[in-house]
Amino acid sequence: MKTIRAHARSQIKVKSSKFIANVHPISSVEQAKSVLDAIRKEFHDARHHCFAFKIGIGDQTITRASDDGEPNGTAGAPILQVIEGKNFTNLLVVVTRYFGGTKLGIGGLARAYSEATKEVLESVKSKILLDSARCVIKANFADQSLVMRILNQFQARNISQEFFEIVVIACEIDKLQWTEFVKELRSASNGKIFPKLVE
């Protein structure tokens, strides 16, 4: 999974219609709304500001998509499909369309919004891989299955277990999910289990 550090913009033309694509790094729905409002103000004379965003990883993922007046399924969904197909998260893509006088049809619109999204994502030079947090969890044998269930829920990687008087479980969690992971583990164990970060 990857994300971006900075905003990027690109533009394509399809049969005289102009598609301006903007991509922004985001970490919340509120931030996505704020960026979208700013783009709508900047391009206030455009007909459509279609968008999609994705935040988080695994079970904690939030996605939204909007056709903003274009025929149903021709803009928001194609934008989101490109974001997910290229394995991105924590970003918003807004494609602003200036109508050029020639109708593109359902298929033509979907292709145009997809191409505009691909173009802007390929132009981003600051792609980064999301970091992992390495942690150790100590639990009683009775709580082992509970811990493993939550690790699966958060798509933990490189899981290893050692058995002493207690079970010691080591694993990697995506840093974006760390706070939610700790909260879920503590809640499910009634405050008994605390994961510890290791170098």
CATH number at residue 112: 3.30.230.30
Beta carbons of 74 and 115 less than 8 angstroms apart: no
Instruction: Specify the DSSP element, H or E, that contains 70.
Output: none
Out of 128, 143, 174, a domain closes at: 128
pTM beyond 0.85: the answer is no
Q: Please count the other Cβ atoms lying within 10 Å of the Cβ belonging to residue 165.
A: 8
pLDDT at 154: 83
Instruction: Specify the DSSP element, H or E, that contains 183.
Output: helix 178-188
pLDDT at 129: 64
Out of 128, 156, 181, a domain closes at: 128
* Distance set, CA 78 to CA 25, 51, 109, 110, 120 (Å): 19, 10, 9, 6, 14
pLDDT tens by residue, 60-79: 789 999 999 999 999 999 99
CA-to-CA distance for 99 and 183, rounded, in angstroms?
48
Beta carbons of 120 and 93 less than 8 angstroms apart: yes
Q: Return phi, psi of residue 142, to 5°.
A: -65, -25
Q: Give the full edge-to-edge strand order of the sheet including 167-174.
A: 157-163, 167-174, 132-139, 196-197
CA-to-CA distance for 79 and 145, rounded, in angstroms?
39
Encoding tokens for residue 174?
């995506």
Q: Does one domain contain both 145 and 89?
A: no
* Distance set, CA 6 to CA 20, 26, 123, 135 (Å): 17, 10, 11, 29
pLDDT at 130: 67
Query: Which structural domain, as residue segments, surrounds residue 11?
Result: 2-128
Q: Does one domain contain both 12 and 71?
A: yes
3-class SS shares of the chain: helix, strand, coil, % to 5: 35, 35, 30
Q: Does one domain contain both 108 and 170?
A: no
C-alpha dihedral sign at 7, 109, 75, 18: positive
Encoding tokens for residue 99?
């109508």
Which of 68, 76, 81, 74 lies closest to 108, judged by CA? 74
Q: Does one domain contain both 30 and 123?
A: yes
Q: Which residues of the chain have pLDDT under 70?
A: 59, 126, 128-130, 199
Q: Does one domain contain both 118 and 138?
A: no
Encoding tokens for residue 110?
């979907």
Q: Does one domain contain both 137 and 177?
A: yes
Q: Does one domain contain both 88 and 154?
A: no
